[in-house]
Amino acid sequence: MRSCFSKSARQTCRLGLALGKLCRPGDVIALVGPLGAGKTCFVQGLARGLGVNRPLDVVSPTFTLIDEHPGRFTLWHADLYRIDREEDLQQIGLRDLLPGEGVTAIEWLDRFPAYRPPDYLEVRMEMRRGTRRHLAAVPHGPRATALARAWLGRRTRGGPRTGVVV
């Protein structure tokens, strides 16, 4: 597991941006954390890294459940917060996106273990004091391991193990 800290929403967005630049079609990012942890802010950065034209238009699809954002690679953004049963996931077609021709970011995937693909990167987000967040990359599979290593894999001078300057 590799991890880093973010001191602000802007840094959380930049961490997403750095990951988005490394993603390729078929990558699945599972975002885990409580309400207010910064998952949507992170996905806005991910969208920027994927070349989405209007990344600030990326909002949590709590009511639409899955949103599509065209970019260098299509970003599929799903929010499973309002889903109670796995049967509901069949109706919205989540399996059709995993893995897909774009990059899929899924909030609350941890609630539905049967829908986890064999290879995905879990980004755990914890709130700390104020706007400070702890982000941990937990890879599940070989592609996710390579992605986590590239994203948060090297030590910066005087800072946490991270592949990005925040």
Query: How much is the pLDDT for 61?
Result: 58
Amino acid (one-letter) located at 82? R
Strand-pairing partners, residue 105, are 29, 77
Cβ neighbours for 69, distance < 8 A, ≥ 6 positions apart: 47, 50, 52, 55, 57, 58, 75, 76, 77
78 class by beta-carbon count within 10 Å (0-12 exposed, 13-18 middle, 19+ buried): buried
Q: Are 86 and 114 in contact (CB under 8 A)?
A: yes
In eight-state DSSP terms, residue 131 is T
| Rounded CA separation 29/86 (Å) | 19
| Rounded CA separation 123/148 (Å) | 9
What predicted TM-score, i.e. pTM, was given to this entire model? 0.85
User: How large is the C-alpha radius of gyration of the chain?
Assistant: 15
Q: Which residues of 38-69 are buried (b: 16+ CB within 10 A; e: fewer)?
A: bbbbbbbbbbbbbebeebeebebbeeebbbeb
| pLDDT tens digit at each of 166 positions of the chain | 888 999 999 999 999 999 999 999 999 999 999 988 989 899 999 999 999 876 557 766 555 678 888 888 899 999 888 888 887 877 777 777 666 789 999 999 999 998 899 999 999 999 988 888 999 999 999 999 999 999 997 543 333 444 443 3
Cβ neighbours for 32, distance < 8 A, ≥ 6 positions apart: 108, 109, 110, 122, 123, 124, 125
CATH code of the domain made up of 8-116: 3.40.50.300
Domain boundaries along the sequence of the chain: 8-116
